[in-house]
């Protein structure tokens, strides 16, 4: 059984256009957007068995294939994006046809291939395999917006993917118009304003959009979907995904390409054998993911990963929450505190968090001593923080000296996969 959430994008839930009992083909549109939103297409051929306020449920036929019903021929690239139901695949879920209506003559399309969240590997693995769809997608986005230059932002450490991308740019003859920009291996280099800063050495104010600097930023998988829509008239029905954990019979990061949207994550991972008792299932990446329920999690257009963690440590003492705009939010930190049996004494935000809850300069610490002292003054003996790498460094410069312990929201995940904890880290790599 496949479950298609009616809201897998920014905006309103889409409106079903099918009925219970109806037969649908893979690729067929099953829901239309209501104002801001996107079309939803079935990723399987089968029968609609249930529709509720939240989702459309489809029982697949036994003989499903990769064939799909094509979207109609369109006049413009933005129209292809609309018909295909493309939304930001990196997690943002913003409808792509609206982004492509931005006019930025002589501006820049920035392909966000940073894959910011450690352990999620499907974006970079895809590029290592073949970057043609992403590079062509940049050209289509340039054509739609009037941009004349494209950049591909990717972490310096992803050497194999960088070689492949440069080869593709060469093969397609795009050397003059598309350039690779290597960025540091820190969190949150994939935040769009951090990426723009890495390219142009200028900050966009938290209240402004990238178009202020004549830029449109699009995730690599989104750009691949744009190429598929324009060249193959393929709607968004499949998604790349990573399953992460310490397994007896699998790797730590397990990449899947083209999984049908609506797939059950429980079904996908039923053969996985954990080396420990499950602590938490995190849906998304270590920094921004949230706790999920295996029985109720189905693949969407913006799903990134499923992480099976070790159990949380217990800490029954008083804690303070230090919230970052680019990592776990207050609700998630409270959830972690509750799971550790901690008592929350106070909450404060990194002083870089602007009124609209965005960070002023993502990844560049404004100083954390005040926040740490405030939480201590409220009785916190330990801080649970969600800060970026630079700010975690700063917290570690003062909290231990003040006798305050530190737990980062990613700790149980990084301990699971033996990845360096967000404490003191080099930010030059």
Q: Which of 114, 388, 396, 417 binds ligand SF4 (CB under 6 A)?
A: 388
Candidate segments 48-56, 129-137, 278-286, 363-371, binder of ligand SF4 by CB under 6 A: 363-371
Q: Which of 325, 375, 383, 396 binds ligand SF4 (CB under 6 A)?
A: 325
CA 335 to chain centre: 20
Cβ closest to ligand SF4, residue 153 vs residue 188: 188
Pairing of strands 149-155, 108-112: parallel
96 binds ligand SF4 (CB under 6 A): no
Provide, rounded to whole angstroms, the least separation between the CB of residue 357 and ligand SF4.
Answer: 9
Cβ closest to ligand SF4, residue 213 vs residue 359: 359
Q: What distance in Å separates the CA atoms of residue 220 and residue 151, rounded to the nearest whole number?
A: 11
Q: How many CA within 13 A on the CB side of residue 267?
A: 12
Which tokens is 65 given? 């294939």
Widest CA span in the chain: 65
Which stretch of DSSP H or E encloses residue 224?
helix 220-232
353 binds ligand SF4 (CB under 6 A): yes
422 binds ligand SF4 (CB under 6 A): no
Cβ closest to ligand SF4, residue 238 vs residue 411: 411
Contact yes or no for 212/364 (Cβ under 8 A): no
Q: Which of 161, 218, 261, 359 binds ligand SF4 (CB under 6 A)?
A: 359
Contact yes or no for 61/44 (Cβ under 8 A): yes
CA distances to 194, 398, 417, 419 from 253, rounded to whole Å, are: 26, 34, 9, 12
Which tokens is 403 given? 């006798």
Count of other CB atoms within 10 angstroms of residue 151: 23
Which tokens is 414 given? 């990084």
Cβ closest to ligand SF4, residue 254 vs residue 387: 387
Candidate segments 131-139, 167-175, 361-369, 415-423, binder of ligand SF4 by CB under 6 A: 361-369
Residue 4 pairs in a beta bridge with 56
Candidate segments 146-154, 176-184, 220-228, 318-326, binder of ligand SF4 by CB under 6 A: 318-326
Contact yes or no for 360/301 (Cβ under 8 A): no
321 binds ligand SF4 (CB under 6 A): no
CA distances to 51, 112, 391 from 159, rounded to whole Å, are: 46, 16, 27
Provide, rounded to whole angstroms, the least separation between the CB of residue 360 and ligand SF4.
Answer: 7
Beta strands in 134-245 (DSSP E): 149-155, 178-183, 215-219, 238-244
324 binds ligand SF4 (CB under 6 A): yes
Pairing of strands 343-349, 318-323: parallel
State the binding string over 175-214 for ligand SF4 (x if CB under 6 A, else -): -------------x--------------------------
Provide, rounded to whole angstroms, the least separation between the CB of residue 364 and ligand SF4.
Answer: 6
Instruction: Count residues near ligand SF4 (CB under 6 A).
Output: 16
Cβ closest to ligand SF4, residue 24 vs residue 359: 359
Which tokens is 102 given? 């931005």
Q: Which of 118, 245, 285, 362 binds ligand SF4 (CB under 6 A)?
A: 362
286 binds ligand SF4 (CB under 6 A): no
326 binds ligand SF4 (CB under 6 A): yes
347 binds ligand SF4 (CB under 6 A): no
Q: What distance in Å separates the CA atoms of residue 79 and residue 74, rounded to the nearest whole number?
A: 6
Provide, rounded to whole angstroms, the least separation between the CB of residue 356 and ligand SF4.
Answer: 12
Site residues (CB under 6 A) for ligand SF4?
188, 324-326, 350, 352-353, 359, 362-363, 365-366, 387-388, 390-391
């Amino acid at each position: 059984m496949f479950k298609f959430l009616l809201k897998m994008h920014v905006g309103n839930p889409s409106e079903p256009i099918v009925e219970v009992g109806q037969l649908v083909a893979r690729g067929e549109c099953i829901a239309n957007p209501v104002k801001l939103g996107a079309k939803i297409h079935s990723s399987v051929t089968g029968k609609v068995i249930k529709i509720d306020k939240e989702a459309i449920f489809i029982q697949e036929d036994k003989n499903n294939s990769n064939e799909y019903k094509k979207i109609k021929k369109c006049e413009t690239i933005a129209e292809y994006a609309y018909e295909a139901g493309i939304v930001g695949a990196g997690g943002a879920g913003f409808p792509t046809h609206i982004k492509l209506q931005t006019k930025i003559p002589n501006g820049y399309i920035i392909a966000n291939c940073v894959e910011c969240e450690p352990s999620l590997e499907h974006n970079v693995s895809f590029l290592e395999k073949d970057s043609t769809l992403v590079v062509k997608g940049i050209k289509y986005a340039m054509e739609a917006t009037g941009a004349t230059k494209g950049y591909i932002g990717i972490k310096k450490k992803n050497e194999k993917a960088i070689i492949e991308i440069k080869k593709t740019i060469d093969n397609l003859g795009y050397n003059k118009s598309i350039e690779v920009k290597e960025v540091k291996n820190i969190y949150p280099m994939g935040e769009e304003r951090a990426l723009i800063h890495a390219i142009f050495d200028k900050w966009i104010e938290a209240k402004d959009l990238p178009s202020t600097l004549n830029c449109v930023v699009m995730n690599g998988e989104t750009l691949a979907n744009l190429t598929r829509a324009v060249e193959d008239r393929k709607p968004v029905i499949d998604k790349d995904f990573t399953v992460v954990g310490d397994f007896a019979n699998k790797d730590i990061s397990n990449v899947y390409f083209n999984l049908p949207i609506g797939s059950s994550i429980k079904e996908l991972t039923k053969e996985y054998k954990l080396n420990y008792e499950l602590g938490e299932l995190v849906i998304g990446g270590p920094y921004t993911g949230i706790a999920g329920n295996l029985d109720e999690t189905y693949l969407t257009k913006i799903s990134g990963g499923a992480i099976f963690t070790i159990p949380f440590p217990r800490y029954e003492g008083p804690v303070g929450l230090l919230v970052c705009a680019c990592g776990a939010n207050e609700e998630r930190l409270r959830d972690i505190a509750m799971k550790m049996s901690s008592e929350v004494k106070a909450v404060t935000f990194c002083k870089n968090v602007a009124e609209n809850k965005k960070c002023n300069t993502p990844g560049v610490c404004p100083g954390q001593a005040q926040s740490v002292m405030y939480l201590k003054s409220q009785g916190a003996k330990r801080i649970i923080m969600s800060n970026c790498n630079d700010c975690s460094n700063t917290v570690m410069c003062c909290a231990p000296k003040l006798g305050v312990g530190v737990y980062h929201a990613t700790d149980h995940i990084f301990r699971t996969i033996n990845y360096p904890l967000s404490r003191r880290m080099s930010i030059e790599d």
